[in-house]
């Protein structure tokens, strides 16, 4: 049965600009600091941020089993722990309150003054306290490109890749929301032809175009989540820039995987778009051949048609779109990733985040990293201001956007936009 929050004919009494990522069918969740210096949980419709803590205090969620302070928190973890049934009840109610036919809040200026904020009055925060963060490697095109460049062009995919949604653990503490500038990392690298490593700024800082999903409490330690149940434990998705220092990675990664090449920073979009809002945009995933082992087999459409786009904006320059990709290219589904992650009994908590891996498509113009777009720097990209890029330069801003579109409804993620600052300079003593 289709969810009523997804009804494409539904309209809201709030003004929603044409092509907004946030029509009344979206109703994402985020955390923001208000003009009164209060942190609250909220949603967004058009260019309004809506304070759910205040709405709850004013009685608009009456009848839904919620603790009094569930939205007066600085993370969504507890709300996410309440589970899918509660998420739906809350989104249904928000959808009703802002429906064009509903006058309760619409005609109450005092209440509107309390709950509605314009975007310049708020500052978006990290939406969850991320307990553990895992990054997958689930685009066949990306894995093939990397294999061609660094291993054997004839056997680009490693033997395990078609059997396992390959993944590894990342660092939660370095994940920041869109708008937080990051620094070029220092590190050890081995110059071409050298015998000994050197220390200095990474010369090959790259983005990785990814999406990530946020989980709820899914299991107890020792018990797996069956693949057909897995989506019930996925709260929603964000855009994800998995910053990477290619030269540091090359020297450090054998035999235990990437470490300092990744954990200097990772950036996410601040509004979590629920899996429910994405429901109308399901598509079949790419065919899997060989058929995966039984614990990874599922039925139905497990892909999502989400258009993705990355641009670079140099300091004082204009934006150049450098790639367009789509989440539907992912070979392994989110359900398969979560089932695989827990098949050994690994515990998954509310607020955990799992990245897709770089979302590269079939053509060079769909590649999800500078590494692939410039083929290791061999073919630099030309930007609108005439400058060229092999990798990301100091003071460049990398911006990713993502959205679904169908039946005149656009469900978008906003953006994750991050400026790369030069290396940290310690103060002189």
Return the active site residues. 142
Residue 120 makes CB contacts below 8 A (sequence gap 6+) with none
Residue 222 binding a second copy, by CB under 8 A = yes
Task: Single out the segment in contact with a second copy by CB under 8 A; choices: 51-59, 62-70, 192-200, 386-394.
Answer: 192-200
Q: Residue 167: which of 29, 342, 48 has the closest Cα?
A: 342
User: Cα–Cα distance between 144 and 361 in angstroms, integer?
Assistant: 11
Q: Which of 46, 53, 170, 270 binds a second copy (CB under 8 A)?
A: 170
Query: How near is the Cβ of 212 to a second copy at its closest, in Å?
Result: 15
Taking the least distance from each CB to a second copy, the nearer of 260 and 409 is 260
Task: Single out the segment in contact with a second copy by CB under 8 A; choices: 18-26, 42-50, 288-296, 331-339.
Answer: 288-296
Q: Which of 88, 171, 376, 419 binds a second copy (CB under 8 A)?
A: 171
Q: Which of 182, 334, 354, 411 binds a second copy (CB under 8 A)?
A: 182
Q: By CB under 8 A, what part of segment 50-79 binds a second copy?
A: none
Cα torsion angle, 290, 307, 336, 282, sign: negative
Query: How near is the Cβ of 183 to a second copy at its closest, in Å?
Result: 4
Q: Residue-wise over 341-356: b if at least 16 C-beta within 10 A, else e?
A: bbeeebbbbbbbbbbb
Task: Single out the segment in contact with a second copy by CB under 8 A; choices: 38-46, 74-82, 289-297, 406-414.
Answer: 289-297
Residue 173 binding a second copy, by CB under 8 A = yes
Residue 245 binding a second copy, by CB under 8 A = yes
Query: How near is the Cβ of 375 to a second copy at its closest, in Å?
Result: 19
CB 251 within 8 A of CB 188: yes
Q: Which of 28, 236, 258, 270 binds a second copy (CB under 8 A)?
A: 258
Residue 347 binding a second copy, by CB under 8 A = yes
Taking the least distance from each CB to a second copy, the nearer of 34 and 349 is 349
Cα torsion angle, 386, 387, 390, 391, sign: negative
User: Cα–Cα distance between 44 and 310 in angstroms, integer?
Assistant: 23
Query: How near is the Cβ of 348 to a second copy at its closest, in Å?
Result: 7
User: Cα–Cα distance between 253 and 265 in angstroms, integer?
Assistant: 17
Q: Which of 42, 167, 368, 402 binds a second copy (CB under 8 A)?
A: 167
| 255 CB-contact burial (10 Å; exposed 0-12 / middle 13-18 / buried 19+) | exposed
Query: How near is the Cβ of 247 to a second copy at its closest, in Å?
Result: 12
Q: By CB under 8 A, what part of segment 387-426 binds a second copy?
A: 421, 424, 426
CB 66 within 8 A of CB 56: yes
Strand-pairing partners, residue 177, are 268
Task: Single out the segment in contact with a second copy by CB under 8 A; choices: 86-94, 287-295, 358-366, 374-382.
Answer: 287-295
Residue 256 binding a second copy, by CB under 8 A = yes
What are the two backbone dihedrals, phi and then psi, of residue 65, each rounded to the nearest 5 degrees? -70, 95
Q: Which of 27, 52, 128, 176 binds a second copy (CB under 8 A)?
A: 176
DSSP-assigned letters across all residues of 149-216 = HHS-GGG-S-TTTTTS--EEE--GGGEEETT--EEPPEEEE--TT-SS-EEEE-S-EE-BEEEEEEE-
For residue 419, give both structure tokens: 């400026």
Compute how many residues bind a second copy; rule: CB under 8 A: 67
User: Cα–Cα distance between 429 and 424 in angstroms, integer?
Assistant: 15
DSSP-assigned letters across all residues of 55-83 = HHHTTTTTTS---TTTTSSSSSHHHHHT-
Taking the least distance from each CB to a second copy, the nearer of 153 and 255 is 255
Q: Residue 19: which of 292, 420, 405 has the closest Cα?
A: 405
Query: How near is the Cβ of 147 to a second copy at its closest, in Å?
Result: 9
Taking the least distance from each CB to a second copy, the nearer of 83 and 131 is 131
Strand-pairing partners, residue 261, are none
Q: By CB under 8 A, what part of segment 93-122 binds a second copy?
A: none
User: For the chain, how are helix, strand and coil distributed in percent, rounded to 5?
Assistant: 20, 30, 50
Query: How near is the Cβ of 228 to a second copy at its closest, in Å?
Result: 13
Q: List residues near a second copy by CB under 8 A.
A: 131-132, 134, 137, 158-160, 163-164, 166-174, 176, 182-183, 185-188, 190, 196-199, 202, 221-224, 245, 248, 251-260, 263-265, 290, 293-295, 340-341, 343-349, 352, 421, 424, 426
């Amino acid at each position: 049965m289709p969810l009523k929050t997804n009804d494409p004919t539904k309209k809201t009494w709030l003004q929603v600009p044409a092509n907004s990522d946030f029509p009344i069918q979206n109703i994402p969740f985020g955390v923001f600091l208000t003009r009164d210096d209060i942190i609250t949980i909220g949603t967004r419709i058009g260019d309004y941020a809506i304070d759910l803590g205040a709405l709850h205090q004013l009685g608009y969620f009456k009848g839904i089993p919620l603790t009094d302070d569930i939205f007066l928190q600085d993370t969504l973890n507890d709300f996410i722990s309440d589970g899918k049934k509660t998420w739906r009840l809350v989104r249904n109610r928000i959808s009703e309150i802002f429906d064009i036919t509903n006058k309760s809040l619409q005609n109450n200026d005092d209440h509107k003054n309390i709950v509605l904020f314009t975007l310049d009055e708020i500052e978006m925060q990290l939406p969850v306290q991320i307990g553990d963060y895992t990054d997958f490697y689930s685009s066949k095109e990306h894995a093939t490109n990397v294999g061609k460049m660094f291993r054997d062009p004839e056997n680009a995919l490693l033997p395990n890749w078609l059997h396992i949604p390959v993944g590894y653990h990342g660092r939660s503490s370095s994940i920041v929301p869109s708008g937080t500038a990051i620094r070029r990392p220092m590190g050890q690298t081995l110059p071409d032809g050298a015998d000994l490593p050197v220390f200095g700024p990474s010369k090959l800082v790259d983005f990785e175009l990814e999406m990530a999903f946020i989980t709820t409490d899914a299991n107890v330690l020792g018990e797996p989540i069956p693949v057909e149940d897995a989506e019930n434990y996925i709260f929603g998705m964000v855009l994800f820039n998995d910053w990477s220092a290619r030269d540091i990675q090359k020297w450090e990664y054998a035999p235990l995987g990437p470490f300092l090449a990744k954990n200097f920073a990772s950036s996410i979009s601040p509004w979590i778009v629920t899996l429910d809002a994405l429901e109308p945009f399901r598509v079949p995933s790419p065919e899997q051949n060989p058929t995966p082992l039984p614990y990874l087999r599922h039925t139905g459409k497990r892909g999502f048609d989400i258009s993705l786009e990355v641009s670079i904006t140099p300091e004082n320059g204009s934006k150049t779109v450098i790639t367009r990709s789509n989440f539907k290219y992912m070979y392994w589904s989110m359900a398969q990733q979560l089932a695989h992650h827990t098949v050994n009994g690994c515990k998954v908590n509310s607020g955990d985040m799992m990245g897709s891996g770089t979302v590269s498509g079939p053509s060079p113009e769909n590649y999800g990293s500078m590494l692939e777009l410039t083929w290791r720097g061999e073919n630099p990209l030309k930007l609108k201001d005439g400058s060229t890029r092999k990798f990301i330069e100091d003071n460049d801003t990398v911006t990713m956007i993502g959205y679904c579109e169908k039946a005149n409804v656009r469900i978008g993620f906003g953006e994750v936009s991050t400026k790369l600052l030069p290396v940290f300079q310690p103060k002189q003593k």
